[in-house]
Structure 1
Amino acid sequence: MPPTPRRSPRKLASSQGTIIVGIDFGTTFSGVAFIWSNQVDQIEIITSWDADSSDNADECKTPTAIFYGLGNEVTWGYAIEPEKEQLKWVKLLLLNDEDIPEEVRTSDKIKKAREYLQKHNKTAEEAVTTFLRHLWEHSINCITKSISRGMVNYTQFHIVITLPAIWPSYAREKMRLAAEQAGMLDKRMGVETQLTFISEPEAAAIVTLADMEGRFDVKDEDTFVVADCGGGTVDLISYKLIQAKPMIVKECVKGSGGLCGAVFLDESFTDVLKSKFDKKWEKMDESNRRDIISIQWETGIKRNFKKGSDKSYNIRVPFECLRAKDRRVIGMTLPTVTITPEDVKGAFDPVIEKINNLIDGQISAVKEKEGVSPKYVILVGGFGRCNYLYDRVKERFGKEVEILQAKGAKPWTAICRGAVIHAATQSGIGKVSVQVQTRVARASYGICWNEPLNSRRNNHEDKYFCDIEQQYYARNQMAWLLQEGDDVSARKPTIRSLKQHFDRHGPMTTPEDERIFQTNVFPPPTRWDPEVIKELCSIKWETIIDPEALPKFTNQLGRVYGELLYRCKMTCSGESVGFAIYRDGKKEGPKSVKVDYNTC
């Protein structure tokens, strides 16, 4: 018999291209987009959600919601029956209390979310992990149906998760751990999955600018403010166009943001309903309260209300709220509660005032730096589709800046689509390309070290004598690798040269960890101050050092030490801040150096 033909060896994943997945994990809704690097003409949006109502199956995003049933059985997204108590707003609970504004921290929805977690003996991190696991499994199933199981198994994945720009670094690390524990980073046929982050406003800005490529009215030196108005956060970012085609932009001023998204408008309108219905609101069945908010408000008043509207809205009082004698009247018409235009404005205006103040700050900063007003303010995000928001922003800024607002699904899916374009641009693939040349640092990052004493700069109490160097030093001084407001190039890392000394006759050992700190105080302190300087991460050496194998350092007394010389490199890309150690011109690998981010 002839020998059995051998099957051709399967190509390595690196030669198969890359599947790029952008994940917008939102406060109220989450979305996923993807492309395969060899077929990048069309970004695909994940749909086909498991849904209690078939009407929701093909929505481009799914609710960020979880229901824990008997035996901790999990239902999520649209599959949760509306009448079921469910966990929402869990994204905001990744923040420490001190980073949540008091009016948000004490809101009913945050209280309910905390109570739900406590009832089911879960932490916010565990709940986020659970949601991401189900979102990822559903996404993988959809991607498999689209491009085949073989491609999914043997192609490298690059996952890009978007984060609010105003989030502290510890919250980003919680998201990374949740993604890892959700199985998103598991090897696929031995191939590592790459995970990066990008800020939500940058992702939204990238896709918005990509949609504008080729327009005759977009010229070099134009500036734009993109306002990403989501469920929980509103983030703003401003860019200057360096080159129109291919599109290259730079962040021109430090971005801004706040917790003033759509959920706070919903809370405000719920307060209106409580006031109007008075005691009837507490008597009302939960399903009726939910229907009023989701049907009358969410899909009706909230979406369609416009500036100058004189329309009132009549909401029927449910039967169970009637007095006993009224219930006995056969054929009676149920009474109504009237919501006036002033009531609606009263719910909208405090939230929109905060958004307008953020926009005003960005416009003023752009004018101060560039000498002219931005050309456009572009509203994106789910809340960014709101008619009344557009009207109020235009009313305040429309005389000096044109306000743009896309319709349909585009603003709602901007963030996950922008994340995909960002990763594709970084990889040099795809026809759509928006390159961010520089960004503006939103915090200062540095190390705490002991520096040679400078009597003019250093405080006397920091002075000490170093026996090894045989000179005076100042302890606990801050060396800032990057300062808030600095322009940061995605291609040029910040480098700091460092050294450690060891007894030449001492035992083999691991070097001391390097700790990286951050602060939002500007200008950043020159000395260590635990009140305003927080640890971002520690760079832990895993390598065992033989002091005798190190280069020699001889001090003035003739004593010889082993000297370890190395460099700390800091790189920035999107929302990711990365650190690496280089020694003898080569990067120390993960088996030699490990970076542990602080989650507190």
Structure 2
Amino acid sequence: MQPKKPQKMVKSSASISSARAVNKPIKLSVPKLVKTKPSKPASDTIIVGLDFGTTYSGVAWAYSRQPDDIALVTNWGAQLRNCSDLGKVPTQILYDGENMKHWGYCIPADETPLKWFKLLLLRDHDITEEMVNYSQICDTRALLEDTGNDVVTVVAHFLGEIWKHATTSILKALGPELLQKSRFHVVITLPAIWPPYAQQRKKKAANMSGILDARSSGETTLGFVPEPEAAALATLKDFANRSTIKPRDTMVICDAGGGTVDLISYEIESVDPFVVKECVKGDGGLCGAVFLDQNFLNLIKEKTGPRPWRDDLLTTFDPVISKIEALVRRQTDAIRDNWTAICRGAVVRGAALFNPSSITVDTRIARRSYGTSFIEKFERKKKHRVSDRIWLEEEQDWSADNQMKWFLREGNDMSSKNPVREKYYRAYAANEEEIEPIVETIYVCSAFPPPQGHKTNSREAMRDHMDTRCRYRVATNFHKLKWRTLSQVGIRNPDDL
């Protein structure tokens, strides 16, 4: 039998640990919402923080050469004078058919605006049945349907209006010359408990809103930060200069918002520079102020009789407050348990140089598992299913298809300075004239433990907990091609494996 032409071996993004992996591992960057320590800007930069909330939204900004001077955007357009100088604006919008008419404080009191639409970025199966049927949620759906717009478009309209107002405010503060030569870096907040598809919808809305429109000063960059982390950084900034703060102190921060309540816990690693790490996986739930409003509305509609009013009011608050108390208890209990458990990993060393006034989150806890689908040598006696067995011409051997390599699992530490790396390769025929860059899919899974195979009896868990339309992609270029000769050996009997 004639030997086949030599095959050329080159690294690719199939996550395989193998002796045949001949190059240095290519970096697989875990998808991040926002970098802890962004690279030094090449030009003057205006950093804009946009808190898009369920009931109220706000904007703050700072100039890169004066990062500690953080300014709030106010002077909102308003029907009432006493609203214009507030730090936040209502997350509400009024439509005339499909066209936006008013937003924020400018909506007349006798109109019915579209509110709470942020919650509609979630699918019904990610909200409890009770919440799906809340009158506020039902009214929002009905008003949204009347506009003829989908929820992503409505979010884009609102973000566009708040962005235009923010840039006008920044222009007045800095002047046209400095604004024109400065790039924008925009950071938008996200609820920590949101699944990946909801984050992708919010990112799409931000792209549609005009925030990333081209400017002569350079590209506008977009980042995201979990809402509890943003709240924590603001709180820690106030704590940083207190003499009572010392290393190994732990704090729990509760961010009780309009739609969600998020909790996050940090342990202080050092005070100068001020470095913290997330010590347990954050928690949260849909138990924000809008659901308290719903309970109060139910009380007004349904409660009658001679019972003392105080008891009635307590029953209104109890369901929501009990959920918040449970979240706080779970978080503090997790910290105590974590102190006595096996260490999840080595403590990441601090960076050599920090801005003394900055707050650095050194380590975070993975909320989900991340991995890639790959092919490896078939070994039925060990772990592989016969249904996954395929003959691979490039390897001249039986291989197992649709295997999952979870290079980051839920609960693992994520260092902001040490990215996750995996060795892998891919084989190509020598007669291929041109090799294109590789684009590989990174899957996100909320099931724990994540399934071993992509198309196994664990497929149901994969379908329940991941959205194949929301995939993070990593592109790599080829370098340092390595060669070895593969002989044609014929197809062996797979039963001998």
* TM-score after normalising by structure 2: 0.81
Q: Which residue in 2 is equivalent to 1:272?
A: 299
Answer yes or no: is the 8 Å Cα contact 1:511–1:541 preserved in 2: yes
Q: Which residue in 1 is equivalent to 2:155?
A: 128
Structure 1 residues 207 and 71, CA, compared in 2 at 3 Å: closer, same or farther? closer
Q: Which residue in 1 is equivalent to 2:112?
A: 85
What letter matches 1:346 in structure 2? T
Q: Which residue in 2 is equivalent to 1:498?
A: 424
The match for 1:64 among 76, 91, 106 is 91
Instruction: Kindly indicate which of the two structures has a greater share of residues assigned to helix.
Output: 1
Task: State how 1:231-242 maps to structure 2 within 5 Å.
Answer: 231-242=258-269
Q: Which residue in 2 is equivalent to 1:351?
A: 320
Q: Which residue in 2 is equivalent to 1:99?
A: 126
Shift of 1:497: 3.3
Structure 1 residues 198 and 558, CA, compared in 2 at 3 Å: closer, same or farther? same
Q: Which residue in 1 is equivalent to 2:485?
A: 554
Task: State how 1:101-250 maps to structure 2 within 5 Å.
Answer: 101-250=128-277
Structure 1 residues 246 and 507, CA, compared in 2 at 3 Å: closer, same or farther? closer
Q: Which residue in 2 is equivalent to 1:437?
A: 362
The match for 1:446 among 361, 371, 394 is 371
Answer yes or no: is the 8 Å Cα contact 2:370–2:408 preserved in 1: yes
| Larger RCO: 1 or 2 (CA < 8 Å, sep 6+) | 2
What SS does structure 2 have at the residue aligned with 1:231?
A: coil
Shift of 1:521: 1.5
Shift of 1:215: 1.6
Answer yes or no: is the 8 Å Cα contact 1:31–1:61 preserved in 2: yes
Answer yes or no: is the 8 Å Cα contact 1:41–1:431 preserved in 2: no
What letter matches 1:366 in structure 2? I
Answer yes or no: is the 8 Å Cα contact 1:249–1:435 preserved in 2: yes
Q: Which residue in 1 is equivalent to 2:309?
A: 340
What SS does structure 2 have at the residue aligned with 1:555?
A: coil
Task: State how 1:541-580 maps to structure 2 within 5 Å.
Answer: 551-557=482-488
Answer yes or no: is the 8 Å Cα contact 1:23–1:30 preserved in 2: yes
Shift of 1:511: 5.9
Q: Which residue in 2 is equivalent to 1:537?
A: 471
- Mapped pair 1:51 → 2:20: no
Q: Which residue in 1 is equivalent to 2:399?
A: 473
Structure 1 residues 371 and 551, CA, compared in 2 at 3 Å: closer, same or farther? closer
Matches of 2:432 and 2:264, distance apart in 1: 53
Q: Which residue in 2 is equivalent to 1:366?
A: 335
What SS does structure 2 have at the residue aligned with 1:342?
A: helix
Answer yes or no: is the 8 Å Cα contact 1:449–1:476 preserved in 2: yes
What letter matches 1:499 in structure 2? Y
Shift of 1:42: 2.3
Matches of 1:203 and 1:70, distance apart in 2: 36
Matches of 1:158 and 1:530, distance apart in 2: 39
Write the deviation string for residues 337-390 of structure 1: whole angstroms up to 9, x where unpaired: 998111111111100101111111111110011259xxxxxxxxxxxxxxxxxx
Q: Which residue in 2 is equivalent to 1:526?
A: 452
Answer yes or no: is the 8 Å Cα contact 1:20–1:34 preserved in 2: yes
Shift of 1:466: 1.9
Matches of 1:23 and 1:338, distance apart in 2: 45
Shift of 1:139: 0.2
The match for 1:30 among 57, 74, 82 is 57
Answer yes or no: is the 8 Å Cα contact 2:273–2:354 preserved in 1: no
Structure 1 residues 153 and 221, CA, compared in 2 at 3 Å: closer, same or farther? same
What letter matches 2:460 in structure 1? E
Matches of 1:430 and 1:154, distance apart in 2: 24
What letter matches 2:426 in structure 1? Q
Shift of 1:137: 0.1
Answer yes or no: is the 8 Å Cα contact 1:500–1:511 preserved in 2: no
Answer yes or no: is the 8 Å Cα contact 1:514–1:539 preserved in 2: yes
What SS does structure 1 have at the residue aligned with 2:422?
A: strand
Shift of 1:470: 1.8
Matches of 1:71 and 1:502, distance apart in 2: 52
Shift of 1:541: 6.1
The match for 2:67 among 40, 47, 65 is 40
Q: Which residue in 1 is equivalent to 2:390?
A: 464
Write the deviation string for residues 56-83 of structure 1: whole angstroms up to 9, x where unpaired: 1111100000001267242101111122
What letter matches 1:358 in structure 2? L
Aligned pair count? 432
Bigger CA drift: 459-468 or 549-558?
549-558
Shift of 1:523: 1.7
Answer yes or no: is the 8 Å Cα contact 1:28–1:89 preserved in 2: yes
Shift of 1:135: 0.4
Identity of aligned residues (%): 39
What letter matches 1:151 in structure 2? L
- Larger C-alpha radius of gyration, 1 or 2? 1
Write the deviation string for residues 59-118 of structure 1: whole angstroms up to 9, x where unpaired: 110000000126724210111112211111111111122112222211111111111111
What letter matches 2:277 in structure 1? K
What letter matches 1:476 in structure 2? N
What SS does structure 1 have at the residue aligned with 2:264?
A: strand
Shift of 1:542: 10
What letter matches 2:54 in structure 1? T
What SS does structure 2 have at the residue aligned with 1:110?
A: helix
What letter matches 2:387 in structure 1? E
What letter matches 2:400 in structure 1? A
Matches of 2:282 and 2:41, distance apart in 1: 36
Structure 1 residues 205 and 450, CA, compared in 2 at 3 Å: closer, same or farther? same
Shift of 1:160: 0.6
Shift of 1:163: 0.3
What letter matches 1:539 in structure 2? R
Matches of 1:263 and 1:255, distance apart in 2: 22
RMSD: 2.7
- Structure 2's unaligned 5+ residue stretches are 1-39, 342-350, 491-497
